[in-house]
Every structure is written in C-alpha cells, then in structure tokens.
Structure 1
Amino acid sequence: MQYTIQNNKLNIAIKKTGAELCSIQSVKNNTQFMWDADSSIWGNYAPNLFPIIGSLKEDTYIFEGKKYSLPKHGFIRGNTDFELHEHTETSLTLKLTYNEATLKVYPFKFEFYMTYKLTDNKLDIIHTVKNLDDKTMYFSVGGHPAFKCPVFEDEQYYDYVLEFEHPENSKTHLINTTNGLISNKTKPVFNNTNILPLTHDLFNDDALIFKDLKSKQVSLKSKKHGTILTVSYPDFDYLGIWAKPTGNYVCIEPWLGIADNDDTNQDFKIKEGILTLDAGEIFEVGYGVVVDGGILF
C-alpha cells in the first residue's frame, strides 16, 4: 500500500511498509528522482533507520546486563505495523507503536513517527520519537534515501558529482567488510575541496562514512544538466554516502548514530553516537530534499 502527497511541483509516494519514501516525481514532466529499488541490485528506496544505524557487533548489544539482538539498521525497514496517523494533500505522518515483538529486541516503550511534508519544491522528512517508558531511552535515528543517478537518458554515472556546502578535508572511516563494523582505519577523501566525483568504484569498499564534515548540505549535480537536488541535514552529526557498485543511484544518508566499532564492548549506553531521551519526552529531527527548480519548471 502507498500514500501520496502532491502540490503543483512534486508528486511524492510513501509506502506504508516501513513508512518508506519511494517516489519523488516532477508534476510537470514526470521526471523521477528516486532509485527504482531494483531487487537484483538493492531492493530499497529510502529505509528509515531506528533504533540503530549500521551493524552491531555480532548483531548484539548489551543493556543493563542483558543481551539483545537487532538486525542492521534496526527494525523500521520492512516493518508492516505502521499505522496512518495524519494525511493531508501535502503532508503525511505514519506511526509505529512499540509492541511485543519490539520489546523482545528493544526494551523500551515508544512511539515512532515518520512525517513527510511538501512545501513548494522541498520535501521535509521528519523523525519523531516519543518515550512512553518510565526510564531513559537509548537510540539512534537516520535516513538512507537512494537518489537516481543518472536521472536523464543522455548521461552516465560519471557525469555526476556531489557538491558539498564547504570545502572539506575529511577522511572516510573504513568499514570492516567481514563484519560490517567500523574499523580503526581511515582513508583520505577530500583535500580542501567540496566536490566528490561519482564513480561506481568509489563504493568498492562499502560506504563512505564521515564524522566531521563542516557542510550541512550537499547537492547532486549533473555536468550536463546542473543541480538536480540538494539534501540539507543541519542537525545530523554523521553522513554516509553509498551505493552498490553496480547500482545507478547514490544514497545520501544523514545519521544521528553509527555502526559499532570493531573494538566495542557492546554496552548500548556508551555506544558511539547514541542518543538519550528521558521518560515522557519527545525528540524530533529532520532533513530536507530540495529539487532544483530549473528541472521542475
């Protein structure tokens, strides 16, 4: 099942399963900006990540002396228990409430909301977490949207770059490809530049993971057609850039949290990037996608 929201610029589709964004399309010319989730390559559009990001060591964490297991990126992706909370012409909110299945793997009572709000040529994607428990809640949250690349038939993947807001000197934190964890190794990516050329082999060693970018927005740009779209993530500490090396897409992933390190002791309370939320409190964070007006109009 899918829901849609629309204005005179963009038509947006969201799957009920996982509250997953699956289409950003121009009203004027039907240009599609999202990856098509080809299952032979990578069968997702834009998974929502909660209550962890990336992989846990041995798929396990420890909370107050007890072991729990969670799959990579948590239990929102593919979750069929979302309910419609609110739906207008230009906004949609879906809600997931804790249940017996979540309590077995995540010992907190919560409500998790995904809101999609369309304003002109901008889509805001908002994550809201409510702690319904009587204890402090520990979690991470983030996005994993996959944008079509190339967008137009007269282009190749290498005709695209990511242009960051500021010149950067950041390194990527390398993933141990045998277990999906963050190793202690890094690799230079930027040398006082804000341009990252896209090539398929850029992702031969999995995602690029940045912890210290100055930029809080990045644009997907075509050498032939100019700026395609811009993702802004002012309140996120980490950014992942990823694609399957055979996939014609690029994921721009704002994260509050990160996969476990190789040397973690698996204590959830001191996990890198973990957030806390007091009993009865509400946490909200969002990122935005602006589709360039030159393409739309």
Structure 2
Amino acid sequence: MPFLENDQLKIDIKKKGAELCSIRSVKNNTEFIWEANPNIWGSHAPNLFPIIGAMKEDSYIYNGKKYSMPKHGFVRSNDNFEVVSKTNSKATFQLKSNDQLRIIYPFEFEFLITYELKGNELLIHHKVKNKDDKTMYFSLGGHPAFACSLFEGDTYTDYFLEFEKGENSKSHLLNMATGLVTKKTKAVFDSAKTINLDGHLFNEDALIFKDLKSRQVALKHKDKGEILKVNFKGFPFLGIWAKPNAPYVCIEPWIGIADAENTNQLIKEKEGIVTLEPKKSFKATYSITLNSNLLN
C-alpha cells in the first residue's frame, strides 16, 4: 500500500531521512523516481539539512569552536523522524535536535518536511523552527533523482532539461578531490533554454548554478515530450547531477551551496546560509508536477 495516494499519484516515503522513494501513476503504475541501484547510486531523493554539499575538512566553525559535519548534513541518514500528521494525501515528518545531534550542530531546532499530493503535483514543504535562544544557521534542499528510462528502447541521450527562461548562467565547477566550489566556471547550455543529457555531462561532478533566471525546469524526452517539471521558487541555487553513464538525473533545489575552496569555515559567513532568529520559523517549498498524459 502506498504511503500517500490521490486519484492520480501514489508515493512512498522511507522513515530514514523521510526520503521520497517512489512517485507512480495510479492508473498505469509508471515509476518516475530512480530505483536507487546500490551498484550505481543507492539513494532516491535525499533531504539535505543543515548544509548543502561538502564543507572544507568536513567541518565548520561556530563561536570559535570547530564542529564536524557530513556531506549534505545529517538529515538524509537519520532514523529518528516521526510522522506527526497524516491524511491520505498529506503527511508531515519531524526531526528534533537531540544529544547526539548537538555534538555536531549546537542548536535547538525542529525540522519538518511535509509531502502533499494535489492532482498531478507533489509539493514538498520544509519548515525549520529555531527553538533556541540564539540565532541558528543552516541550509536546506532537495536531491530527487528522476528515472531516464521510462520508455521501451529509449536511451539517456533521448532526454534533456528545458528551463522556463533563456539562460546565460554557467556552472560553477567543483574540485573533484574535495567537493569544494572553485572559481572556475563552464558553459553547459546547448541552447538558451536546454541542457542535453549524455553519459559524460557529469564527468566533472554536479552542475551548480547560482544565478539562474528560471524558477522552473522540465525533464523532457525528444519524442515523448515533457515528463515532469520541478518548480524551485524560493531556492536561489540549483544543482543538476547524476553518476556518469547512469540512467537518471537529479534536479536539486538548494538554499545554500558547498563551501568555496577559499572559505574561512565560519558558518555565519558561509555562502547561501540562512540566518534564523530565536523562536522564529523558516519555510520553503518546491514541487514536482507530472505530465498528466503519462499518468493515463
């Protein structure tokens, strides 16, 4: 039985990391999320908090003390999520600070993620509550991987990404050894609006955009048309990634970014960091809309 369902979509979510692991059509059972083959990349759609990407030396400095932090933060591997509300088409998962997390992240917080089905759309709502009496600092984002093997006989190069507006943005390159953002950039658009997928596109790791004009991007097939679109209004950064030669693509809305190579490691000064005052809350939502024609 799917975790959530309406008349068009059914989705499944893992308790670990509150990770979306399936989006399927109710009528024809088409699966749109990557299968998480562990021999290639064993995740479906990790949730990222309280940082995005890698930190220099896997650590940051807060009030003069150095703290360790795994890549993309601690949410994606956390088993302590609780379902705090649920209907047939909407559910909220909650993670609270605890003694173990305070060792690496010294803030009192609640992280809530809500999955909501509306017709052919899945909305992913994030809410962060600062329960502390001091200002907290964080980033958050999504990492959904979409299958690029939906039709019999198709190939990865049949798929492309189309942005809603013409772009002149360049990808900010990572240091492959450290995962840190360099000062180098690379042009990756094949036209003003499109990036064609191929097995070598991610040979230099993720495509990272800081200044896109678009707030929506569609995954399309050259013969079948639009598969789905991701709306990331309110997320200033976007990552695009897959393992080279793997049949999926991650479209990653980010509020925050990996450390730059020349970082001073001070979390208060980290690029893209959110500053949240005591007892305040922060909200952000992105959505995935499936092409209705593929659901029948």
Q: Which TM class, normalised by the smaller chain length?
A: over 0.9
Farther off after superposition, 181-190 or 67-76: 181-190
Whole-angstrom distance in 2 between the partners of 1:119 and 1:259: 32
Q: 1:221 maps to which residue?
A: 220
CA contact (8 A) 2:10 2:25 kept: yes
How big is the shift at 1:213?
0.3
Q: 1:274 maps to which residue?
A: 273
How big is the shift at 1:192?
5.8
Whole-angstrom distance in 2 between the partners of 1:271 and 1:49: 16
Indicate the SS of the match to 1:244.
coil
**Deviation sequence 1:193-242 (CA, Å, 0-9, x none):** 10111001000000000000000000000112110000000100000000
Matched, 1:64 2:66: no
Matched, 1:130 2:129: yes
Whole-angstrom distance in 1 between the partners of 2:34 and 2:152: 14
CA contact (8 A) 1:183 1:261 kept: yes
**Deviation sequence 1:95-129 (CA, Å, 0-9, x none):** 00000111000010000011000000000001110
Whole-angstrom distance in 2 between the partners of 1:191 and 1:197: 7
Q: 1:212 maps to which residue?
A: 211
Normalising by the residue count of structure 1, what TM-score does the alignment of the two structures yield?
0.98
CA contact (8 A) 2:10 2:26 kept: yes
Whole-angstrom distance in 2 between the partners of 1:43 and 1:32: 16
Indicate the SS of the match to 2:100.
helix
Indicate the SS of the match to 1:186.
strand
User: In structure 2, what residue type is equivalent to 1:96?
Assistant: L
User: In structure 1, what residue type is equivalent to 2:252?
Assistant: E
Normalising by the residue count of structure 2, what TM-score does the alignment of the two structures yield?
0.98
CA contact (8 A) 2:206 2:241 kept: yes
- Within 5 Å, give how 1:92-103 maps onto structure 2: 92-103=91-102
Q: 2:231 maps to which residue?
A: 232
Whole-angstrom distance in 1 between the partners of 2:170 and 2:50: 26
Matched, 1:148 2:124: no
* Identity, % of aligned positions: 56
User: In structure 1, what residue type is equivalent to 2:21?
Assistant: C
Whole-angstrom distance in 2 between the partners of 1:202 and 1:190: 11
In the alignment of these two chains, the number of paired residues is 296
Whole-angstrom distance in 1 between the partners of 2:147 and 2:173: 25
- Within 5 Å, give how 1:1-297 maps onto structure 2: 4-190=3-189, 193-297=192-296
Q: What's the Cα RMSD here?
A: 1.0
Whole-angstrom distance in 2 between the partners of 1:97 and 1:167: 41
Which has the larger strand fraction?
1
How big is the shift at 1:78?
1.6
Question: Which segments of 5 or more consecutive residues in structure 2 lack a partner in the other structure?
Answer: none
How big is the shift at 1:158?
0.2
Question: Which segments of 5 or more consecutive residues in structure 1 lack a partner in the other structure?
Answer: none
Q: CA 1:252/1:285 → structure 2, altered by over 3 Å: closer, same or farther?
A: same
Whole-angstrom distance in 1 between the partners of 2:128 and 2:2: 22
How big is the shift at 1:14?
0.6
User: In structure 1, what residue type is equivalent to 2:281?
Assistant: I
Whole-angstrom distance in 1 between the partners of 2:189 and 2:153: 29
Whole-angstrom distance in 2 between the partners of 1:164 and 1:246: 23
How big is the shift at 1:243?
0.1
User: In structure 2, what residue type is equivalent to 1:154?
Assistant: G
Indicate the SS of the match to 2:185.
strand
User: In structure 2, what residue type is equivalent to 1:110?
Assistant: F
Whole-angstrom distance in 1 between the partners of 2:60 and 2:183: 20
Indicate the SS of the match to 1:269.
helix
Indicate the SS of the match to 2:17.
helix
Whole-angstrom distance in 2 between the partners of 1:144 and 1:11: 19
